[in-house]
Amino acid sequence: MQDVLAMTYIWLKAGHIIFVIFWMAGLFMLPRLFVYHQETAPDSPDNAVWIDRERRLLKIIMLPSIIVVWVLGLLLAHVTGAFTQGWFHAKLMLVLVLSGYHGFLSSYARKLARGERSLSGKALRMLNEVPGVAAALIVILVVARPF
């Protein structure tokens, strides 16, 4: 039985890491697409192309990835008993922040599709730093387990 649990853990962990990479790639890429999108005229043919690119990234890569990340992450936490550990609580908080950021990006994509451009290119470039900072903190928490 111990061997089965060990093998399950390894595959859960591998899948979790793979889909975190996919999700993070989307979180880094989407704000960059927004910057380019906002540089096009709202009534230009390029505008429709950017809307389609953003929609595809969200629906084909980011949405499935966030779902798999959460499912596998919670399974891993259950298998390892991480729910009682402080480092996990901090990691969970950061993943909730990233999930909210994902929701914000999805909402902003819908705004852009409607022609609303409420953020500047500079603001979008600054927002693009959120997943990098969160990822660095999460890796430190998972590897070092400081508390």
Instruction: Note down pLDDT in tens along the chain; length 147 residues.
Output: 567 777 899 999 999 999 999 999 999 999 999 999 999 999 899 999 999 999 999 999 999 999 999 999 999 999 899 999 999 999 999 999 999 999 999 999 999 999 999 999 999 999 999 999 999 999 999 999 999
Work out the angle at residue 66's Cα, subtended by the Cα atoms of residues 61 and 69, and round it to the nearest 5 degrees: 120
For the CA atoms of 38, 60, 141, 91, what is the dihedral angle to 10 degrees?
90
Please compute Rg for the chain using Cα positions.
18
Name the DSSP letter for residue 136. Answer: H
Cβ-contact 117, 39 below 8 angstroms: no
**Residue 87: per-residue pLDDT:** 97
- The answer to whether the annotation marks 91 as part of a ligand binding site is yes
SS3 34: helix
Residue whose C-alpha is closest to residue 95's, from 62, 121, 69: 69
Q: Confirm whether residue 78 is marked as ligand binding.
A: no
Query: For the CA atoms of 70, 127, 110, 29, what is the dihedral angle to 10 degrees?
Result: -70
Residue 99: CB partners within 8 Å, gap ≥ 6? 66, 70
- Alpha-carbon torsion (85, 17, 66, 29), positive or negative: positive
Please state whether the predicted TM-score (pTM) of the whole model is above 0.75: yes
At 2 the pLDDT is: 63
